[in-house]
Amino acid sequence: MTVTVLLFASYAEQIGKSSMTLELPEGARVDEALSRVQAEAAGRLPPKPMVAVNQSYAKGSDILRAGDELAIIPPVAGG
């Protein structure tokens, strides 16, 4: 199945692109997708970043479906 990964701000800068497409087996979990992104990013992402699937916050154990959009959300600072 195909999943789109969105990267924002510092994560997009570190990896050099704002999105990527992953081919994953049916029933893959968010953690599996993150491991794939980490491998491509050569460890430039934190081990457990905040994520959202289809614009709703998600956990690593959540199951992905074909066509899902996985967003990796960088920390936000403000003041």
For the question of whether the overall pTM of this predicted structure is more than 0.75, the answer is yes
Task: Indicate the pLDDT class of residue 78, thresholds 50, 70 and 90.
Answer: low
- CA end-to-end distance (rounded Å), the chain: 41
What local confidence, expressed as pLDDT, does residue 30 receive? 97
- What is the phi/psi pair of residue 11, to 5°? -70, -45
Domain boundaries, the chain: 2-73
pLDDT in tens, 64-75: 999 999 999 987
**Identity of the amino acid at 28:** A
* CA gap 24, 66 in Å, rounded: 9
Rounded to an integer, the average pLDDT of 38-43 is 82
Question: Which of 63, 68, 38 has its CA nearest to residue 53?
Answer: 68
Rounded to an integer, the average pLDDT of 15-41 is 93
CATH of domain 2-73: 3.10.20.30
